[in-house]
Amino acid sequence: MNNAQNWTEEISPKHSLFDFKLKETWQYRDLIILMVRRNFVANYKQTILGPLWFFINPILTSLIFTVIFGGIAGIKTDGIPGILFYLSGLTLWNYFQDCLIGTSNVFRDNASIFGKVYFPRLIMPLSIVIGNLLKFGIQFLLFIIFLIYYLLKGVEIHCNIYMLLLPFLLILMAGIGLGLGMIISSMTTKYRDLSYLLSFGVSLLMYATPIIYPMSMIFKRIPEKFHWIAMVNPLSPIIEAFKYGFLGQGILSWGGLLYSTIFTFLSLFFGILIFNKVERSFMDTV
């Protein structure tokens, strides 16, 4: 009699550092959907306005930017109405920010779950990135409503075919947020100070990204041979390409987008690599 059994799953405490378990993660795709739903419900379950904050936040932020930076500081927006200009930058920026901050807290926020049941840990940061697409979709719709409003008013806005780059730009934003978020999350299991520095660092990064000012303003203030320095931030070419496609203003730099793409792949590779290493023993330090 043959007592051998065919196991469908094998849980082993040791695996290669480069074993990212992407196939196994795909097999748990139903769990990703459940986690996306859980995150959404948990975030807005006890709020009065609920998902309306998706609209309120970018509108209020854009109005404040319009008054402070457009009115008081006198920063030009290349002929684009202030609120529309700021909304265009905030739409993508908010998605990146939510992905980065959300994934950076994965180990800390889910320690109780990780300690009880096994599943590919990569599911948690992936569910955050995918779940934030809903918020992005709502804020993008808000941006389109304002865009149509100003077009109907006769404001000169030159939308063009490069709007079709949006899915690619969104993938880059998600990839950078996911990769950097996993690196930070892995490091905060031992160095809690990083979690306190993150919100401050994200605020600084926003001012280093062309959200409240056009990149053309920076280019006018520095010699041409130093223009590349303004594009060192991998988010800048992405934001500028978005503005170029939907507003007809901005700088579409294929070299800059290539740089952002390479940065995305590197941050994802090292993010998953470090995440994969830390998740083996993080329960001892979290």
Q: In this prediction, what percent of the chain has a pLDDT beyond 70?
A: 79
Cβ neighbourhood burial of 93 (10 Å; 0-12, 13-18, 19+):
buried
Q: What are phi and psi of 4, to 5 degrees?
A: -65, 140
Nearest by Cα to 140 from 203, 90, 79, 213: 90
Tokens matching residue 54 = 């998706």
Please determine, for residue 79, whether its predicted confidence score (pLDDT) is greater than 50: yes
Please determine, for residue 4, whether its predicted confidence score (pLDDT) is greater than 60: no
- Tokens read off for 183: 């690196």
Sign of CA dihedral 182, 186, 191, 195: positive
Distance in angstroms (rounded) separating the CA atoms of residues 16 and 36: 28
Q: Return the closest-CA partner of residue 174 out of 208, 143, 205, 128.
A: 128
Asked if residue 20 has pLDDT above 70, the reply is: no
pLDDT at 55 over 90: no
Contacts of 147 (CB under 8 A, 6+ apart): 84, 157, 159, 246, 247
Mean pLDDT of 259-278: 89
Query: For 174-228, what is each residue's pLDDT tens digit?
Result: 999 999 988 888 887 776 667 778 878 888 888 888 898 888 787 777 777 666 7
| Model pTM score | 0.83
Tell me what pLDDT residue 1 has.
46
Q: Given pLDDT bands bounded at 50, 70 and 90, which one contains residue 141? A: very high
